[in-house]
Structure 1
Amino acid sequence: MSITRRIFAVAAVVGAVAIGAGIAGAQAPSFFRIGTGGTAGTYYPIGGLIANAISGAGDKGVPGLVSTAVASNGSVANINAIQSGSMESGFTQSDVAYWAHSGTGLYEGKGKVEDLRLIATLYPETIHLVARKDAGINSVADLKGKRVSIDEPGSGTIVDARIVLGAYGLTESDIKAEHLKPGPAGDRLRDGGLDAYFFVGGYPTGAISELATSSGISLVPINGPEVEKLLEEYTFFSKDTVPADTYKDVGETNTISVAAQWVTSAKQSDEVIYNITKTLWNDATRAALDAGHAKGKLITLQNATTSLGIPLHPGAEKFYREAGVLK
């Protein structure tokens, strides 16, 4: 059975259960798909927890709504699916959402996705600048002339890396740029063929933990007046700190992060998005997120309206104003 057929088979079973429980009464349920990421990543299990919560029975979920988490290729694929109408919502990095909505960065020359709207900011995805311990790199400025992987063309990381370099007065031509995914970049760092690489993701990341244990690393801080100016210009970034000993023998490191966000289309009704947002932040969902995944505890109402690179959906905005999160 294909993935698509399996998804709809599961949705049909869940829908039947929902109707049997009296959620939808005589009315057929509405389906609300959440595009996530690969099944081995963080987006997929978090999406499953949220989908289960908003499909919940009684006053724990949204009446008449059945939600499913759908595996995908991540941020760009999810935005494309929302734009085409093949998904009602999806997860994305805040920087990718900003570029899509503004037609810049990864979306330069591809047009704007003007209908993209935010339901909630979920949790931080930290910008790691991982360096070989003996590379003598103590600041971003020290990358000049070094062998640095900034990820592959077409990735979100490469755009973020260029922004960070630019904040410190550097361009790609000032470094010996490599274009490797994080796994191969870590291997090259271990073998002495690379001095540093950029990685965007939640901490601790298994591959970096293994590298720190086997070879030793340093995490390069991304802070100072250069970053203050960067944060003013790019609202999808936030300050972040990697706590001491997150990675073996690495002290507390100040850096910046983008955010994992849940986005939808302006075409979705205000009432549906209001009810979904309200359910996302009820006590039952809170308990499910806390118990269900390590990142779940970082998903908080206080952070829901941070890293606003795109407009909130009016339905979500209504809830956040009622909840006192927005003035």
Structure 2
Amino acid sequence: MPRAADKACSSSPDPLPDLPPGSPAHPGGRPAQPSGLSRRRLLGGLAGGASLLAAGASLGGSGPAAAQELRYFRIGTGTTAGTYFPIGGLIANAISNPPGARPCEKGGSCGIPGLIVVAQASNGSVENIEMLRGGSVEAGFAQADVAYWAYSGTGIFTGTRPFAELRSLGMLYAEAIQVVVRSDGFIDRMADLKGRSIALGEQGSGTLVEARLILDAYGLSESSITPLYLKPGAAADRLAKGELDGFFMVGGYPVSAVSDVAARVPVRLVPLDGEPAERLLRTQRFYIADEVPAGAYPGTAQTPTLSLGAEMLTRADRDPDLIYGVVRALWHENTRRILAEGHPQGRRFDPARAIANVSVPLHPGAERFYREAGLLGSAANEPTRDPAGQPGSGSGRGPGGEPADGRPDSRTDAGPGEPAAAGTPSGADAGKATR
């Protein structure tokens, strides 16, 4: 890890808006879920509100002065049965640094002193974008294509004001598109989904966006199946009971919803390959040819699929010192160890790949970190260190989407520092952004 990432952050940004202890704000009034887990064992943001806020108050002493030292940073994640939620909880645990926490050099948090990070459950990518747009969270996870479409006002966000203030903190890992069916359901390929009851993901989720794209590419649509719009956990439960023929899931394997149903009934993953997949790779810039390895779920075989980057996003108006401290803590070796021990996808976090193909411009605070860490040149279009042959390493493009070597991109007329043009949903059923 570069030397710049080994230091504890000591910056002290302006305090974030106050949050009631134990009940972080959530659009629609939905509170964060409580947890009795210890700070070190926090998973999925369950302790994002209650336990970390309580820890900050108790460790920091009593009185107005101690309370004023606390700062709050909310991250929009995903559903409890997906990947964003547990990953978000691990990140929140790792970079929160309440008063009295174990020092960085002794294996503790290396985040901004006094910062309390809250992992907040949501419906996923689209809802996180809208919460960022409305300012109800400080950061959020989203699939790369969803982020680009929001930034540019294209794709599913056509007709919506471009979210030009959207900025990236970097790509975290590649998440796979998974079509899960029962092994005894006589579904071997995408064409077999016709006439079947298939859960596509709930409104506001990135899974629903990708499901519509995939169906269209394989000559299907919501009218050629019986669509349901369910959370992953509900879809998995119905599949196990025989009340559903299959469901889409986008996430870093193993996804808990798929693992849960695979432990109850034999399942298989439908391959995403052939000419439709090749066409998607040509037209959807952020798609990556990938495969889910054999045994990722009980009894499943190696399955070709498509994946895309999961990015951590924020707004351009967030304090650069704050974002710099968050990104430095995110990539610190202590944080990476917690992630690797806490979730299989945590082992795929790699700062050398974080900016290889981000969908929107880097936030200035994030750009400062990557430059100091030697991962970004003195100009945004200088080469990045992009290890060859790494899954999800992208195309070696700079932080604004331009080629990393600074050569003009034949696919776009975007200027320096702007994302390159990306493919947009081609089918009528791809639809507009769901909110």
Match of 2:316 in 1: 266
Please give the alpha-carbon distance, in whole angstroms, between the structure 1 residues aligned to 2:333 and 2:181: 42
Match of 2:23 in 1: 3
1:107/1:67 CA distance change after superposition, 3 Å = farther
After TM superposition, give the deviation of residue 164 of structure 1 in Å. Answer: 1.1
Alignment of 1:106-255 (within 5 A): 106-173=156-223, 175-181=224-230, 182-186=232-236, 188-190=238-240, 194-255=244-305
After TM superposition, give the deviation of residue 254 of structure 1 in Å. Answer: 1.2
Contact 1:137/1:143 (8 A) holds in 2: yes
Aligned pair partner of 2:136 in 86, 90, 93: 86
Residue range with higher mean Cα deviation, 156-165 or 303-312: 303-312
Match of 1:303 in 2: 353
Please give the alpha-carbon distance, in whole angstroms, between the structure 1 residues aligned to 2:94 and 2:275: 42
Contact 2:24/2:118 (8 A) holds in 1: no
AA at the equivalent of 1:54: I
Report the secondary structure of 1:67's partner residue: strand
Instruction: Check if 1:281 corresponds to 2:331.
Output: yes
1:67/1:44 CA distance change after superposition, 3 Å = farther
Once the two structures are superposed, what CA deviation does each residue of 1:13-60 show, in whole Å capped at 9, x if it has no partner? Answer: 62785799xxxxxx9565433333456764444334433443444676
Instruction: Check if 1:312 corresponds to 2:332.
Output: no
AA at the equivalent of 2:181: A
Contact 1:92/1:262 (8 A) holds in 2: yes
Instruction: Check if 1:102 corresponds to 2:102.
Output: no
Report the secondary structure of 1:251's partner residue: coil
Cα RMSD for the two superposed structures: 3.7
Once the two structures are superposed, what CA deviation does each residue of 1:182-215 show, in whole Å capped at 9, x if it has no partner? Answer: 4454455456554433222332234433444544
Match of 2:121 in 1: 72
1:194/1:31 CA distance change after superposition, 3 Å = closer
Match of 1:24 in 2: none
Indicate the structure whose relative CO is greater, using CA pairs within 8 Å and at least 6 residues apart.
1
Instruction: Check if 1:36 corresponds to 2:56.
Output: no
Once the two structures are superposed, what CA deviation does each residue of 1:134-190 show, in whole Å capped at 9, x if it has no partner? Answer: 4443332443444433234443322211211222333333x2232142445445545
After TM superposition, give the deviation of residue 257 of structure 1 in Å. Answer: 2.3
Please give the alpha-carbon distance, in whole angstroms, between the structure 2 residues aligned to 1:248 and 1:202: 16
Please give the alpha-carbon distance, in whole angstroms, between the structure 2 residues aligned to 1:241 and 1:205: 14
AA at the equivalent of 1:238: I
After TM superposition, give the deviation of residue 117 of structure 1 in Å. Answer: 1.0
After TM superposition, give the deviation of residue 263 of structure 1 in Å. Answer: 1.0
After TM superposition, give the deviation of residue 223 of structure 1 in Å. Answer: 2.1
1:160/1:78 CA distance change after superposition, 3 Å = closer
Once the two structures are superposed, what CA deviation does each residue of 1:268-300 show, in whole Å capped at 9, x if it has no partner? Answer: 233332332223222222222223444322222
Aligned pair partner of 1:46 in 58, 62, 87: 87
After TM superposition, give the deviation of residue 69 of structure 1 in Å. Answer: 1.4
AA at the equivalent of 1:302: A
Residue range with higher mean Cα deviation, 36-45 or 269-278: 36-45
Contact 1:131/1:220 (8 A) holds in 2: yes
Q: Structure 1 vs Structure 2: percent identity of aligned residues?
A: 43
After TM superposition, give the deviation of residue 10 of structure 1 in Å. Answer: 5.0
Please give the alpha-carbon distance, in whole angstroms, between the structure 2 residues aligned to 1:9 and 1:143: 44
TM-score (norm 2): 0.62
- Structure having the higher helix fraction is 1
Please give the alpha-carbon distance, in whole angstroms, between the structure 2 residues aligned to 1:189 and 1:55: 38
1:259/1:67 CA distance change after superposition, 3 Å = farther
Once the two structures are superposed, what CA deviation does each residue of 1:59-91 show, in whole Å capped at 9, x if it has no partner? Answer: 763455513214232434433333233322222
- Structure having the higher strand fraction is 1
Please give the alpha-carbon distance, in whole angstroms, between the structure 2 residues aligned to 1:155 and 1:295: 20
Please give the alpha-carbon distance, in whole angstroms, between the structure 1 residues aligned to 2:192 and 2:80: 37
AA at the equivalent of 1:51: A
AA at the equivalent of 2:178: H
Contact 2:271/2:305 (8 A) holds in 1: yes
Please give the alpha-carbon distance, in whole angstroms, between the structure 1 residues aligned to 2:333 and 2:158: 41
Once the two structures are superposed, what CA deviation does each residue of 1:232-255 show, in whole Å capped at 9, x if it has no partner? Answer: 332333333211122333210111
1:153/1:268 CA distance change after superposition, 3 Å = closer
1:192/1:53 CA distance change after superposition, 3 Å = closer
Q: Structure 1 unaligned runs (5+)?
A: 21-26
AA at the equivalent of 2:74: R
Residue range with higher mean Cα deviation, 57-66 or 192-201: 57-66
